[in-house]
Amino acid sequence: MEVESNYLNHEKGLKSWLCSVDHKRIGILYFIAVMTFFLVGGLFGLLVRLELLTPTRLFMSSDLYNKAMTLHGSVMIFMVIIPGIPAVLGNFVLPLMIGAKDVAFPRLNLLSWYFLMFGATLAVLAIVLGGVDTGWTFYTPYSIRSMEAVTVILFGAFIMGFSSILTGLNFIVTIHQLRAPGMTMMHMPLFGWALYAAAIIQIIATPVLAITLLLLIAERLFGVGIFDASIGGDPILFQHFFWFYSHPAVYIMILPAMGIISEVVSTFSRKTIFGYKAIAFSSVAISAISFFVWGHHLFVSGQSELAGAIFSILTVLVGVPTAIKLFNWVATMYQGSIKLDTPMLYAIAFIGLFLIGGLTGLFLASMATDVQLHDTYFVVAHFHYTMVGGVVMGMFSGMFYWMPKITGKMYNELWGRVSAVLAFLGFNVTFIPQFIMGSQGMPRRYHLYDPKFHAYHLTSTIGSWILGLGIVIAMIVLIKSFKKGSVAPVNPWGGTTLEWTTPSPPPHDNFAQIPTVTSRPYEYN
Amino acid sequence: MDILEKLFSFMLPEQATGTASIIDQIFYAIIGLSALVTILFFLVVVWFVIRYRRRREGEKTGTITESHKLEIVWTVIPTIVFVAIALWGWSAYRTLEHPPADAYPIRVVGKQWAWVFSYTLDGKEIQTLGQLNVPINRPIVLEMTSLDVLHSFSVPAFRVKKDVVPGLKTQVWFTSNKLGSFQTYCTEFCGTAHSKMLATVNVMPEQQFERWLRDEAAASTTASPSVLGARLYEFKGCKSCHTLTGVDDVGPSFKGLVGKRREFEEGAPVEAADENYIRRSILDPKSQIVKGFKPKMNSFVGQMTDEEIHQITQFIKSLH
């Protein structure tokens, strides 16, 4: 039997991959990179949890613990969950979804990948040079005085920022210029809207981080006196600059995940998404409000009370469009035809965990309760509920959803479901105890801790093994489906968006003929 | 509210100030709301998944695609509830933020990795290390600053926390209504021994506090340089890295240091460590990193007087 020509067999050899400007191949390059980083970041996370098995030193010195904690955060944030969904799935799916042959700037797209790899190389170099112990937030003045490798990893994060900016730029132009004939913005699938909203943040906020990191490098190398109080600088200024990027950045991470949930919930309920406009506009609303909430990271930093109050109110407002999405997803399931395949299991896990992540955000948005909870394990748990319970669950939901399209083969459904259940259970066992000990006052980033918190830490560490197992199984199932599995049909899930109208895997040019769109997405009956 | 408190009080530490309950009320309200919403979502999702499970391929599904009424309901209600929570939090924060005019001031200096508390009595300064003694039922205001990097002063039982920032004065206040000792933590990451930067608040009866303060003031005037040096060893944080046991830690041990041959990472060795060597180590530590150690120590220029350097040197000399 003759194999049809598709993007995977279109050209052969390593060079045909490393120099490819095909958005689908670049998506695969990102997939390989991000999954590798995920393993590394996850390993650091598991080591941190393992060290915390006992209140006293187990196998790491305090310095080593601080480095492991820093690298877990830095790798996961800058190299996994920022590029994860947009660069892997956005790259692969967006052009297919809107009926385009590629992104608007294919070469720029490849360059973005090389920026990420260059940045990642610098991060590895920083580890080889002795590691970094500042925490992923690089707070001054500690980050000014700490070890040499800090400059290297700062420069690495600076470079990776360009990868993010260029990907965002590419997506915005692609969405404006390359939608199939007849597909108005209001006909575009919601994953497109989500990527669009995230891309706005990527191109506006990321340059601020870039400048901040450069200033910090300048402060380290030349002592110019911007952030260092001993030479006339202001350490809190760094926090304003840093969070002006890094708070919107959490929406760069979560918005695309929300987009995936909109697709998956609709497809696996066989039902038109409920409140299309509400979901689409809430993405843009989140993106807009997210620029004005950064000060909630500074309630106990010495920031003025009035500033605190304004940021507190703006912060709770960003919860409103988030709540709207949650309500609409659940309403979509009403009167549906629901099938709990792996993508849907991950999507439901997302809804439950992200709900808790959002609600616990209220404790931190309220200034009075934040005083008690700031910089404790409560924050750690809240952040992981949104970033793992949200972004990572959403990412796996999307990967299982589109994997048959990407590889042309069906993954192992049973093991996919096992991974989702394990990850969900393990996640809760890991992080629920952290809410409790955090409320009781257990500070974050502590190598040694009061024995009264031991039971919580012990439970959390055991949970991390279950979570780790779930994620490793998910990765194995996904990667195996490149090699083995029954042939995937054009539309295995009964989806209604355009990527399900072209063969699996898609041909090099995506569509034999560019489709014309005449109706809204998500029409099932 | 009482039921919520019964259900969730296990999450919060004991209350040792009158103002703690102001924060706790908000905590219980939000957790009650969160628990209710989470349970409702859970029940609805489970109900939908079971009730609308796929029985056969191609079955008809509902055709509702939107409802303006519902969208308005679930936009307006969260907005009102969320803003109410923010305003409540703000109003409580106002109460907690501003100390009464008659609050008793204690100065707090954070440094890697120790807390120093200073009291004034009859123009004399009394310092304690890692022990914050306060009288019960009297408003206390802590005026805080840092000598090096960011720290944050947190007493969970008092529900207070504030960053301690170099070049800036920040403050927290509290009135403790419970006798006993309470744990404090540094809650802003500050390097190697961040998790060991602890202190204890000792809440004592007013008279006991006054007596303690007078005794301390009297004792501080009569001691010898080497005894004062021993105090500095703790107060200036030398203790975090230099042991008195002869076993090296982050830095070389002080025991038997004087007279020892010193080889450096760079530059000519010193045959026998003397007073000059110690002085240079304090003021310009990075100029003579002893072989096998890392350049971890910051200069103490501006942080120790000549008198104090003399005292600590006498102390080190006394350790054979």
State the DSSP string of B145-182: EESSS-EEEEEGGGTEEEEE-BT--EEEEE-B-S-EEE
For residue B221, the model assigns a pLDDT of 66
Residues A198/A251, Cβ–Cβ less than 8 Å: yes
**Cβ-defined contact of B61 to A327 (cutoff 8 Å):** no
Helix ranges, A98-189 (H) = 106-128, 142-145, 149-177
Whether residue A133 lies within 8 A of chain B, CB to CB, comes out as yes
Mean pLDDT of chain A: 94
Task: Name the burial class of residue A46, with classes exposed (0-12), middle (13-18) and buried (19+) by CB atoms within 10 angstroms of its CB.
Answer: middle
Q: How far is A344 from chain B (nearest CA, A)?
A: 11
Instruction: Find out whether B126 and B220 touch, Cβ atoms under 8 Å.
Output: yes
What distance, in Å, lies between the first and last C-alpha atoms of chain B? 63
Calculate the alpha carbon distances from A523 to A193, A514, B129, B142 in Å: 18, 20, 70, 64
Q: Which residues of B touch A355 (CB under 8 A)?
A: 37-38, 41
Per DSSP, what are the bridge partners of residue B171? B143
Amino acid residing at A343: P
The angle, 0 to 180 degrees and rounded to 10, between the axes of the packed helices A393-407 and A235-269 is 50
Residue B30: what pLDDT? 96
Which chain B residue is nearest to residue A271, measuring alpha carbons? B61
* Residue among A133, A273, A323 minimizing CB distance to B74: A323
Distance CA A430, CA A426 (A): 6
- Residue A3: pLDDT band (50, 70, 90) is low
Instruction: List beta partners, residue B108.
Output: B117, B144
Question: Taking residues A200-214, what's their average pLDDT?
Answer: 94
Cis check: omega of the bond before B113, within 30 degrees of 0:
yes
The tokens for B281 are 């180590």
> Any chain B CB within 8 A of the CB of A444?
yes
Q: What is the pLDDT of residue A358?
A: 96
* Beta-strand relationship, B131-135 and B104-111: unpaired
pLDDT-based confidence at residue B239 (cuts at 50, 70, 90)? confident
Interface contact flag, A447 B92, Cβ < 8 Å: no
What gap in Å lies between CA B111 and CA B236, rounded to an integer? 8
Q: Rounded CA gap, B199 and A84, in Å?
A: 42
Residue A205: which of A283, A281, A294 has the closest Cα? A294
Quick one: CA dihedral A298, A303, A305, A310, positive or negative?
Answer: negative
Token duo for residue B116: 């120093």
Q: Collect all residues of chain A within an 8 Å Cβ-Cβ radius of residue B194.
A: 62, 66, 445-447
Q: What's the average model confidence in pLDDT over A57-76?
A: 95
Token pair belonging to B180: 């006993």
Task: Report phi then psi at B290, rounded to 5.
Answer: -65, 140
What is the pLDDT of chain B when averaged over all its residues? 90
- Look up residue B46 and give its two tokens: 């489970």
Quick check: A402 pLDDT over 70?
Answer: yes
* DSSP letter assigned to residue A487: B
Is the pLDDT assigned to residue B223 strictly greater than 80?
no
Residue A244 to residue A297: CA distance in whole angstroms: 10
Q: Which has the higher per-residue pLDDT, B127 or A407?
A: A407
Over residues A457-483, the mean pLDDT reads 96
* Smallest Cα distance from B257 to chain A, Å: 25
* Residue range A332-359: mean pLDDT, rounded: 96
Do the Cβ atoms of B34 and A359 come within 8 Å?
A: yes
pLDDT at B283 > cutoff 90 = no
Least confident range of A199-208, A399-408, B149-158, B251-260: B251-260
Is residue A255 a contact partner of residue A198, using CB atoms and an 8 Å limit?
yes
Residue A1: the pLDDT is 47
Query: Measured between beta carbons, which residues in chain A are less than 8 angstroms from residue B160?
Result: 371
User: Residues 367..426 of A with a Cβ closer than 8 Å to B: which?
Assistant: 367-372, 374-376
Using the Cβ of A308 and the Cβ atoms of chain B, whether some distance falls under 8 Å is answered with yes
Residue A251, helix vs strand vs coil: helix
Contacts with B240 (C-beta within 8 Å, 6 or more apart), sequence order: B112, B113, B114, B193, B196, B250
pLDDT of A4 strictly over 60: yes
Strand, coil or helix: A138: coil
CB B282 within 8 A of CB B304: yes
Average pLDDT, stretch B14-24? 94
CB A443 within 8 A of CB A372: no
Residue A445 φ/ψ region, left for φ over 0, alpha for ψ in the -120 to 50 degree band, beta for the rest: left
CA distance A6 to A409: 13
Give the gap in angstroms from C-alpha B79 to the nearest C-alpha of chain A: 6
| Domain covering B225-317, topology | Cytochrome Bc1 Complex; Chain D, domain 2 (1.10.760)
Give the residue-averaged pLDDT of A221-242: 91
Asked whether A285 and A214 are in contact (CB, 8 A), the reply is no
Spell out the domain ranges in chain B. Answer: 2-51+66-97, 104-219, 225-317
Which pLDDT score is estimated for B222? 65
Tell me the chain B residues in contact with residue A272 when contact means C-beta distances shorter than 8 Å.
63, 65
Residue of B nearest to A336 (CA): B61
Which residue in chain A has the smallest CA separation from B54? A337
Say yes or no: domain B104-219 is CATH 3.90.1150.10.
Answer: no
Q: Tell me the one-letter amino acid at A54.
A: T
Q: A338 has which bridge partners? A: B53
Q: What's the average model confidence in pLDDT over A452-462? A: 97
Q: Does the beta-carbon distance from A272 to B65 stay under 8 Å? A: yes
Q: Is B100 exposed, middle or buried (0-12, 13-18, 19+ CB in 10 A)?
A: exposed
Q: What is the mean pLDDT of residues A35-57?
A: 96
Closest CA in chain A for residue B163: A301
| Residues in chain B within 8 Å Cβ distance of A280 | none
CA distance A274 to A257: 18
Contacts of B67 in chain A (CB under 8 A): 274-275, 331
In the predicted model, is pLDDT for residue A2 greater than 60?
Answer: no
Q: How far apart are CA B88 and CA A47, in angstroms?
A: 40
- Quickly list DSSP for chain B: -HHHHHHHGGGSPPP-BTTHHHHHHHHHHHHHHHHHHHHHHHHHHHHHHHHTB--STT---------HHHHHHHHHHHHHHHHHHHHHHHHHHHHHHS--TTPEEEEEEEETTEEEEEEEETTEEEEEESEEEEETTS-EEEEEEESSS-EEEEEGGGTEEEEE-BT--EEEEE-B-S-EEEEEEE-S--STTGGG--EEEEEE-HHHHHHHHHHHHHHTTS--HHHHHHHHHHHTSGGGT--SSS---SS--STT-TT--B-BSSS--BSS--HHHHHHHHH-GGGSPBTT--S-PPP-TTTS-HHHHHHHHHHHHT--
A-chain residues near B22 (CB < 8 A): 368
Domains of chain A: 21-501 (1.20.210.10)
Read off the pLDDT of residues A107-146 as tens digits, 9 standing for 90 and up.
999 999 999 999 999 999 999 998 999 999 999 899 998 8
Question: Which of A375 and B262 is assigned the larger pLDDT?
Answer: A375
Is A496 within 8 Å of chain B by CB? Answer: no
Residue B143 has φ and ψ, to the nearest 5°, of -100, 115
Is the peptide bond prior to B135 cis by the omega test (within 30 degrees of 0)? no
Residue of A330, A366, A432, A444 to mutate, testing the B interface (most B Cβ within 10 Å of its Cβ): A366
pLDDT digits (tens, 9 = 90+) for B213-222: 998 888 776 6
Top-ranked range on mean pLDDT: pick from A5-9, A84-88, B241-245 = A84-88
In the Cβ-directed half-sphere of B230, how many Cα atoms lie within 13 Å? 9
Q: Are A261 and A351 in contact (CB under 8 A)?
A: yes
CB atoms within 10 A of CB A133: 25
Tell me how far the alpha carbon of residue B47 is from its chain's centroid: 47
Q: Return the number of CB contacts < 8 Å for A and B.
A: 273
Q: How far apart are CA B154 and CA B186, in angstroms?
A: 6
